[in-house]
Amino acid sequence: MIDVLIVGAGPNGLMLACELALAGVRPVVLERHAVPPGEPRANGLVGQVVRLLDRRGLYAGLSGESTPPAPRPAFTFGALPLDLTMLAENPHYALGVPQTRLEAALAARAAELGVDLRRGHELVDLRRRSDAVEACLADGTRLTCRFLVGADGGRSTVRRLAGIDFPGVTHDRSVSRTATVTVPASWLDPQTGGLRVPGYGVVPPFQHTRTDRGLIVWAPFPGRPPVLSTTEWPDAPTSDEKPMSLAQLRESVARVIGADIPLGAPDGPALLRRLTGGNTRIAARYRAGRVLLVGDAAHVHPAIGGPGLNLGLLDAVNLGWKLAATVRGWAPQGLLDTYETERRPVAERVVMSTRAQSALIGPGDDVTGLRQLFAELLRTPQVTGHIAELMSGADTRYPGDPADPLAGRCAPDVVVHGEHGPTRLAELTRAARPLLLDSTGAYAEVAAPWRDRVDVVTGALRGTTATAMLVRPDCFVAWSAGDAGRLRASLTRHFGLPR
């Protein structure tokens, strides 16, 4: 019997597979496409997921940098600039890597970890039992597994077959057009990378620029073709009866900014995409017995601000260690249910954020007045910091001891100074095992009965005021220094009874 069957080999499914493999579970991943789709999709990652990739040893290979990730000095919220340099602690990270390369990196890591990835296999039915799930594939194959996870996107087959409702709102209030393009070199601003458009001015790079007629985004990614995107409102021609073309995008650009941009097609695979309307939905439940949902299968929302991969990959890491603990038999009662109780509120905040931003980019004089007010508010560090934490996911706090200031929060970037010199937390978390960091040496004996599950690292802690921390595999703090009784209770609550 297969322990865990994952349906979908996108970033979320592959990340979950890697997490399970690190925890000693060998999952099987099914992907209906025989080869990875080559069409460009997401253009990068924003938020705390960038730090997570560093903590799993994936950041250096994806970024090409040997140094840890650093916060970005600026971003946007609802097409309004966010000056993050005013913040004492900037939580916002970004990594400009295309989704196709992220998927390739995760597939390579999964192969290194022994994950069984089967491409060209499509799920068409499933049968749930009290002790297992039977998956029926299009070729007639039947696979039996202890748990089945749907990581198969917003139109999830797993969600439908499991009978899980997907309530929310579908609208047709906007039309978005996106393409990879080329433009004449003379149109590029050598200083900023923006587009110098005669009759309009400069379209800045990597920002949402709103006009009274729509939205335009110019993204000149280094080493690959730039992406140009527009969003218009319902009274704009949609041309839905015709395939998306560069000519349509060029016409849309002219409507949005009142000026023409000569567009050409890049060499190699090109993106040409038109989306009418959008969906905002969250699954009625993330779990139906032995069937679970992760990523877009559990929630969909507007793409503004780029929160999708941040949300989905952190779902996968939260679920991974809990599902592995359940499979291996040491999970405390109710641990697997905390996947939904912890992650659903995060999805709800992402939905709130994307809805607010969608309202701020809308047409009309009233929206223009609202934007003027928001622009004033965003000149204050307190408001900008709140928005930055919301967009990056740094405001996430899972239920924990209210008297413990770190419990339930993402672990800070601690450096442990031990007998072998300084070691970053990111180097200690690559195996995805629970960690007890102890600068006093007083807590190792408390954790000794859990030594089969929890690693203990001693040494002076730099980057935190805590003298000890218990860090979950998903890099959230379960406990920070207090009495030994609370540590013992936290070990039992998160990692089960001692051996």
Do 361 and 476 fall into the same domain? Answer: no
Confidence category of residue 430, pLDDT binned at 50, 70, 90: very high
Task: Round to whole Å and give the CA distance between 18 and 26.
Answer: 9
pTM, whole model, 2 decimals? 0.93
Indicate whether 481 pLDDT > 90. Answer: no
pLDDT of 244-253, one tens digit each?
A: 899 999 999 9
Classify burial at 191, counting beta carbons within 10 Å of its beta carbon; exposed 0-12, middle 13-18, buried 19 or more: exposed
For the chain, first and last CA: distance in Å? 26
Q: Pull the structure tokens for residue 330.
A: 């040491």
Do 204 and 156 fall into the same domain? Answer: no
Place of tokens 């095992």: 433
Position 404 in a domain: no
Task: Round to whole Å and give the CA distance between 181 and 126.
Answer: 43
Domain that holds residue 421: 409-495
Indicate whether 413 pLDDT > 90. Answer: yes
Domain edge (last residue) among 245, 278, 311: 278
- Note the pLDDT of residue 235: 61
Confidence category of residue 259, pLDDT binned at 50, 70, 90: very high
Indicate whether 238 pLDDT > 70. Answer: no
The domain that contains 7 carries what CATH number?
Answer: 3.50.50.60
pLDDT of 136-169, one tens digit each?
A: 999 999 999 999 999 999 999 999 999 999 999 9
Position 397 in a domain: no
- Note the pLDDT of residue 20: 98
Q: Which residue, among 16, 38, 275, 338, has the nearest Cα to 158 in the 3D structure? A: 16
Do 342 and 417 fall into the same domain? Answer: no
Domain edge (last residue) among 359, 392, 425: 392
Do 290 and 147 fall into the same domain? Answer: yes
Q: Are 274 and 233 in contact (CB under 8 A)?
A: no
Do 299 and 250 fall into the same domain? Answer: no
Q: Which residue, among 398, 350, 9, 317, has the nearest Cα to 168 in the 3D structure? A: 350
Stated as kind and residue range, the H or E segment containing 484 is helix 484-495
Position 400 in a domain: no
Mean of the pLDDT values across residues 298-318? Answer: 92
Do 257 and 329 fall into the same domain? Answer: no
Q: Pull the structure tokens for residue 472.
A: 């979950």
- Note the pLDDT of residue 320: 98
Beta-carbon count within 10 A of 448 CB: 12
Position 27 in a domain: yes
Position 377 in a domain: yes
pLDDT of 7-49, one tens digit each?
A: 999 999 999 999 999 999 999 999 999 888 766 677 789 999 9
- Note the pLDDT of residue 276: 86
Do 258 and 382 fall into the same domain? Answer: no
The domain that contains 210 carries what CATH number?
Answer: 3.30.70.2450
Torsion of CA 67, 70, 76, 80, to 10 degrees: -130
Residue 96's contacts (CB-CB under 8 Å, 6 or more residues apart) are: 43, 44, 221, 222
Residue 290's contacts (CB-CB under 8 Å, 6 or more residues apart) are: 128, 132, 133, 145, 146, 147, 148
Do 340 and 259 fall into the same domain? Answer: no
Do 212 and 92 fall into the same domain? Answer: no
Do 117 and 177 fall into the same domain? Answer: no
Give CA separation, 240 vs 245, 248, 415, in Å. 11, 10, 54
Position 298 in a domain: yes
Task: Round to whole Å and give the CA distance between 139 and 263.
Answer: 44
Indicate whether 74 pLDDT > 60. Answer: yes
pLDDT of 45-66, one tens digit each?
A: 999 999 999 999 999 999 999 9
- Note the pLDDT of residue 171: 82
What is the chain's mean pLDDT, rounded? 93
Which of 27-41, 396-410, 450-464, 471-485 bottoms out in mean pLDDT, i.e. has the lowest?
Answer: 27-41
Indicate whether 486 pLDDT > 60. Answer: yes
- Note the pLDDT of residue 241: 62
Percent of the chain with pLDDT over 90: 78
Do 183 and 99 fall into the same domain? Answer: no
Q: Are 406 and 480 in contact (CB under 8 A)?
A: yes
Position 242 in a domain: yes
Indicate whether 236 pLDDT > 70. Answer: no
Confidence category of residue 402, pLDDT binned at 50, 70, 90: confident
Domain edge (last residue) among 357, 392, 427: 392
Classify burial at 12, counting beta carbons within 10 Å of its beta carbon; exposed 0-12, middle 13-18, buried 19 or more: buried
- Note the pLDDT of residue 111: 97
Q: Are 42 and 98 in contact (CB under 8 A)?
A: yes
Do 30 and 47 fall into the same domain? Answer: yes
Sign of the alpha-carbon dihedral angle for 217, 218, 221, 223: positive
The domain that contains 428 carries what CATH number?
Answer: 3.40.30.120
Position 106 in a domain: yes
When divided into structural domains, the chain yields a total of: 3
